Amino acid sequence: MTVSQALAMFAEDIGAPATTVKKWRWVASRWPREHRCPDASFTVHAILAEIPDAQQRFAAIAQPPVIARTGERRWSPDEASRRVGSRVAHPASVEEKVVAVHDLVRDEKVASRVAADLLRRPDVAFKAMTETTVQEKVVAAQELVRDEESPLRSPRICCAGRRWPRGR
Protein backbone atom coordinates (compact mmCIF):
# COMPACT_ATOMS: atom_id res chain seq x y z
CA MET A 1 0.00 0.00 0.00
CA THR A 2 1.38 3.43 -0.94
CA VAL A 3 1.34 6.49 1.30
CA SER A 4 -1.27 8.10 -0.95
CA GLN A 5 -3.50 5.06 -0.68
CA ALA A 6 -3.12 4.99 3.11
CA LEU A 7 -3.98 8.68 3.34
CA ALA A 8 -7.01 8.16 1.10
CA MET A 9 -8.19 5.27 3.29
CA PHE A 10 -7.69 7.33 6.44
CA ALA A 11 -9.56 10.26 4.89
CA GLU A 12 -12.46 7.99 4.02
CA ASP A 13 -12.48 6.51 7.54
CA ILE A 14 -12.76 9.93 9.19
CA GLY A 15 -15.05 11.45 6.55
CA ALA A 16 -12.62 14.12 5.39
CA PRO A 17 -11.55 14.86 1.83
CA ALA A 18 -8.21 13.26 0.92
CA THR A 19 -6.88 16.70 -0.05
CA THR A 20 -7.52 17.92 3.50
CA VAL A 21 -5.63 14.99 5.02
CA LYS A 22 -2.75 15.63 2.60
CA LYS A 23 -2.69 19.28 3.64
CA TRP A 24 -2.61 18.29 7.33
CA ARG A 25 0.31 15.99 6.58
CA TRP A 26 2.17 18.68 4.65
CA VAL A 27 1.68 21.29 7.40
CA ALA A 28 2.82 18.81 10.06
CA SER A 29 5.91 18.02 7.98
CA ARG A 30 6.81 21.72 7.93
CA TRP A 31 6.60 21.98 11.72
CA PRO A 32 8.67 19.47 13.70
CA ARG A 33 7.18 19.06 17.16
CA GLU A 34 9.90 21.14 18.85
CA HIS A 35 9.15 24.14 16.59
CA ARG A 36 5.38 24.15 16.91
CA CYS A 37 3.81 26.99 18.87
CA PRO A 38 1.10 25.83 21.29
CA ASP A 39 -0.48 29.30 21.31
CA ALA A 40 -0.87 29.43 17.51
CA SER A 41 -3.72 27.71 15.72
CA PHE A 42 -3.31 25.06 13.05
CA THR A 43 -4.48 27.68 10.53
CA VAL A 44 -1.61 29.98 11.51
CA HIS A 45 0.85 27.08 11.25
CA ALA A 46 -0.57 26.25 7.80
CA ILE A 47 -0.18 29.85 6.59
CA LEU A 48 3.34 30.26 7.99
CA ALA A 49 4.28 26.86 6.54
CA GLU A 50 4.50 28.69 3.21
CA ILE A 51 7.76 30.33 4.34
CA PRO A 52 10.27 28.28 2.33
CA ASP A 53 13.31 28.60 4.61
CA ALA A 54 12.90 26.46 7.74
CA GLN A 55 14.98 28.74 9.99
CA GLN A 56 13.00 31.82 8.91
CA ARG A 57 9.75 29.91 9.43
CA PHE A 58 10.73 28.81 12.94
CA ALA A 59 11.94 32.31 13.83
CA ALA A 60 8.71 33.85 12.53
CA ILE A 61 6.36 31.74 14.64
CA ALA A 62 8.50 32.41 17.72
CA GLN A 63 7.92 36.17 17.33
CA PRO A 64 4.19 36.81 17.17
CA PRO A 65 3.11 40.35 16.30
CA VAL A 66 1.60 42.76 18.80
CA ILE A 67 -2.16 43.02 18.39
CA ALA A 68 -2.85 46.77 18.39
CA ARG A 69 -6.27 46.49 20.01
CA THR A 70 -5.12 44.44 23.01
CA GLY A 71 -1.37 45.04 23.15
CA GLU A 72 -0.74 41.30 23.48
CA ARG A 73 1.62 39.27 21.31
CA ARG A 74 -0.17 36.53 19.41
CA TRP A 75 -0.76 35.19 15.94
CA SER A 76 -4.03 35.50 14.05
CA PRO A 77 -4.67 34.13 10.57
CA ASP A 78 -4.66 37.69 9.17
CA GLU A 79 -1.33 38.51 10.83
CA ALA A 80 0.16 35.28 9.48
CA SER A 81 -1.17 36.12 6.01
CA ARG A 82 0.42 39.57 6.23
CA ARG A 83 3.72 37.95 7.22
CA VAL A 84 3.78 35.75 4.10
CA GLY A 85 2.35 38.43 1.79
CA SER A 86 -1.07 36.82 1.21
CA ARG A 87 -4.46 38.47 1.16
CA VAL A 88 -6.19 38.85 4.49
CA ALA A 89 -9.78 38.00 5.40
CA HIS A 90 -10.27 41.23 7.35
CA PRO A 91 -8.40 44.09 5.62
CA ALA A 92 -7.14 46.81 7.95
CA SER A 93 -4.79 49.07 6.01
CA VAL A 94 -5.79 51.27 3.08
CA GLU A 95 -3.75 49.04 0.75
CA GLU A 96 -5.48 45.87 1.98
CA LYS A 97 -8.90 47.48 1.56
CA VAL A 98 -8.08 48.64 -1.97
CA VAL A 99 -7.02 45.09 -2.90
CA ALA A 100 -10.29 43.75 -1.46
CA VAL A 101 -12.37 46.29 -3.39
CA HIS A 102 -10.55 45.47 -6.62
CA ASP A 103 -11.38 41.80 -6.08
CA LEU A 104 -15.05 42.69 -5.69
CA VAL A 105 -15.27 44.87 -8.81
CA ARG A 106 -13.68 42.58 -11.39
CA ASP A 107 -16.96 42.40 -13.28
CA GLU A 108 -17.35 45.44 -15.58
CA LYS A 109 -21.03 46.01 -14.69
CA VAL A 110 -20.23 46.00 -10.98
CA ALA A 111 -17.17 48.22 -11.46
CA SER A 112 -19.06 50.85 -13.48
CA ARG A 113 -21.90 50.92 -10.96
CA VAL A 114 -19.50 51.29 -8.02
CA ALA A 115 -17.47 53.97 -9.83
CA ALA A 116 -20.64 55.97 -10.56
CA ASP A 117 -21.84 55.60 -6.97
CA LEU A 118 -18.49 56.71 -5.58
CA LEU A 119 -18.28 59.71 -7.92
CA ARG A 120 -21.61 60.92 -6.52
CA ARG A 121 -19.74 61.66 -3.31
CA PRO A 122 -18.33 65.19 -3.77
CA ASP A 123 -15.17 64.65 -1.71
CA VAL A 124 -14.39 61.40 -3.54
CA ALA A 125 -14.98 62.98 -6.97
CA PHE A 126 -12.80 65.97 -6.05
CA LYS A 127 -9.92 63.81 -4.80
CA ALA A 128 -10.15 61.48 -7.80
CA MET A 129 -10.07 64.38 -10.25
CA THR A 130 -6.87 65.77 -8.73
CA GLU A 131 -5.00 62.85 -10.34
CA THR A 132 -3.78 63.64 -13.85
CA THR A 133 -4.30 60.10 -15.14
CA VAL A 134 -7.91 60.11 -13.91
CA GLN A 135 -8.53 63.44 -15.65
CA GLU A 136 -7.10 62.05 -18.89
CA LYS A 137 -9.31 58.94 -18.68
CA VAL A 138 -12.44 61.05 -18.04
CA VAL A 139 -11.66 63.29 -21.04
CA ALA A 140 -11.09 60.22 -23.25
CA ALA A 141 -14.39 58.69 -22.10
CA GLN A 142 -16.22 61.97 -22.76
CA GLU A 143 -14.81 62.07 -26.29
CA LEU A 144 -15.98 58.50 -26.93
CA VAL A 145 -19.48 59.34 -25.68
CA ARG A 146 -19.56 62.50 -27.78
CA ASP A 147 -18.49 60.49 -30.87
CA GLU A 148 -21.21 57.91 -30.16
CA GLU A 149 -23.85 60.65 -30.01
CA SER A 150 -22.77 62.09 -33.38
CA PRO A 151 -25.29 61.52 -36.21
CA LEU A 152 -22.41 60.44 -38.47
CA ARG A 153 -21.21 57.82 -36.06
CA SER A 154 -19.85 54.53 -37.20
CA PRO A 155 -19.38 51.48 -35.00
CA ARG A 156 -16.56 52.38 -32.61
CA ILE A 157 -13.97 49.95 -31.39
CA CYS A 158 -12.95 50.44 -27.79
CA CYS A 159 -10.22 48.88 -25.73
CA ALA A 160 -9.57 45.14 -26.14
CA GLY A 161 -11.00 45.29 -29.68
CA ARG A 162 -14.64 45.11 -28.52
CA ARG A 163 -17.42 47.15 -30.11
CA TRP A 164 -18.41 50.15 -28.04
CA PRO A 165 -21.91 49.49 -26.67
CA ARG A 166 -24.75 51.34 -28.38
CA GLY A 167 -27.06 53.56 -26.40
CA ARG A 168 -24.42 55.04 -24.14
Q: Does residue 99 lie within any of the structural domains?
A: no
Q: Phi first, then psi: what are they for 156, rounded to 5°? A: -95, 145
Choose one of 64, 89, 114: the last residue of a domain: 89
- C-alpha to C-alpha distances, 61 to 24, 25, 44, 79, 89, nearest whole angstrom: 18, 19, 9, 11, 20
Choose one of 89, 120, 141: the last residue of a domain: 89
61: Cβ–Cβ under 8 A, 6 or more apart, which residues? Answer: 31, 35, 36, 37, 40, 44, 45, 48, 75
Rounded to the nearest integer, the mean pLDDT of the chain is: 86
pLDDT tens for 8-67 read: 999 899 999 999 999 999 999 999 999 999 999 999 999 999 999 999 999 999 999 998
Res 73: pLDDT: 94
Res 78: pLDDT: 94
Which residue range(s) make up the domain with 32? 3-89
Choose one of 56, 89, 122: the last residue of a domain: 89
